Amino acid sequence: MIETIPAVIFAGGKSSRMGKDKATLPFGGYDTLAQYQYEKLKKIFSDVYIGSKTEKFGFDAPLILDRYEASSPMAGLVSAFETLERADAIFVLSVDAPFVDENIITALLDADERADAVIARCCERVQPLCGLYRRSALPPAKKTLEADKHKMGILLEELDTHYVDFEERETFLNLNHPEEYEAALRAIGS
């Protein structure tokens, strides 16, 4: 079944640890990691967007341009809700988490307990960019952003947050460094 809530791929980061924009690196037979994530999520959600500072992707996908100068997930979350004015909830996924699969996403969506946020947690590590956020998270997120606080953990502590625990550490591998990207390419046989 195709989910009707929108999904937003967060791809607006600086990629400073990678040394180049990781969202635009080739991955999994696609020209970019962003396109790989987009095509994966299109099989699950009817509406998939890419959140970014600029259009830099080279394929046809709806964009949500950050409305704030800060390069942070908090700015991306607020921009997503402000752009998708009719969305009661959005699913977010970081562009650099290519191994999060449909089983993880379905478990998060099925665990929806009307909390402000339903977030993945693996091996005691919270994954704030893998989960569902309700519109009720917008006012505290905006207040946090206006206070120039950008860590998602600060917001999650303030929200009514439900965590879903997973054991598959490799599923939540983030491609932050060149060696992690190279290892991920080997893992998928690219």
How much is the average pLDDT of 74-92? 97
In this prediction, residue 124 carries a pLDDT of 86
In this prediction, residue 19 carries a pLDDT of 65
How much is the average pLDDT of 91-113? 93
- For the entire predicted model, the pTM comes to 0.94
Q: In the CATH scheme, what is the code of domain 7-188?
A: 3.90.550.10
Domain ranges of the chain: 7-188
Q: pLDDT tens digit string along 20-56?
A: 788 889 999 999 999 999 999 999 999 999 999 888 8
In this prediction, residue 139 carries a pLDDT of 98
Res. 97: pLDDT tops 80: yes
Burial class (CB within 10 angstroms; exposed 0-12, middle 13-18, buried 19+) of 138:
middle
- Dihedrals φ, ψ of 45, to 5°? -120, 145
